[in-house]
Amino acid sequence: MAIDTRPIRSSASDGPARRPAPQRDPDDDRGRPSRSLVVALLLACATLMVVDKAGGDGSPVETVRQGVGEVVGPIQAGVATVVRPVSDLPDTFRTNDALRQQVRELEADNAAQAQQLAKSGYDDARLRQLDGLRQLAGDVGYALVPARVIAIGAAQNFSSTVTIDAGSDSGLHPDMTVVAAAGLVGRITSVTSHTATVLLIIDDTSNVGGRIGTNLELGFVRGTGALGTDDRLEMELVDRNVVPKVGQEIVTWGSRNGAPYVAGVPIGKVVKVYESLRETSYRAVITPGVDFTALDLVGVVVPSGTSGHVIEADGSMR
């Protein structure tokens, strides 16, 4: 990056003569940018915006952005590794007792269940069959690349994006689905070799095909722009005669070849239903299953058999 560091005198030496401010001491103007510099920088900004806006996904700015990401991404990952234990510290203290209690309960629970399992050979056989089925499902299904969130876009950007610490080296590319344990997170918009930028579904430019889990009705789930605590997602149904009900689960409907969204990922629950008189349709407000303010471990959906560090659909880890 070439910041102009020439001595200030050189650019301002001819400035004061032309500027209509005779009462000012010319020495005062030495730090003032010349008019041509201001115009040049303004034009540079405008050009950049126009090139990026007009170019869309294939704009030359994308290449530069990727280059910067290659450099900054690993540093961000490093800093995030250092910061995470510190930011997790209060949580550790608060829940230590609760965790011990939970471990005791789970151990007891586990013992009881192991006993139950050992009791019956019939159950054992059924379990083996079920495992085989799950294996089969794993072969036709998808695998997940685990990743952690290492940078979060500020609200001042008015777009909801995060960076995760897996990139093209792990087999990721744009338009892949990102999920968390609780449901759909978003889709990848750009990747570098070690990081990827994820557009969250609560962003106001996000549009996800969704369906109501119980009656398979199709609709579109839109983000409302991350502002407002509860009403983060809205859904409009394709069939205008169907009334969504409060409490119904919404899952993704899926796109061709699973890009950008694969089918059947839970998005959230209907919490309110509005009747839109103007468009004579119903609008459902959806609370996402994922807590977007506490996003940490996420998974990126990749085709089964992708090399590297992946969790397969049958739960095995490679």
Tokens of 212: 């109501």
CB of 143 to another protein, least distance (A): 24
Q: Which is nearer to another protein, 38 or 112 (CB)?
A: 38
CB of 291 to another protein, least distance (A): 11
CB of 282 to another protein, least distance (A): 22
Q: Which is nearer to another protein, 33 or 141 (CB)?
A: 33
Q: Which is nearer to another protein, 10 or 129 (CB)?
A: 10
Q: Which is nearer to another protein, 72 or 311 (CB)?
A: 72
CB of 31 to another protein, least distance (A): 2
Using an 8 Å Cβ cutoff, are 237 and 282 in contact?
A: yes
CB of 148 to another protein, least distance (A): 12
**95 C-beta neighbours (distance < 10 Å), count:** 12
Q: Which is nearer to another protein, 46 or 136 (CB)?
A: 46
CB of 57 to another protein, least distance (A): 11
Tokens of 142: 């998808």
Q: Which is nearer to another protein, 165 or 217 (CB)?
A: 165
CB of 177 to another protein, least distance (A): 17
Q: Which is nearer to another protein, 110 or 205 (CB)?
A: 205
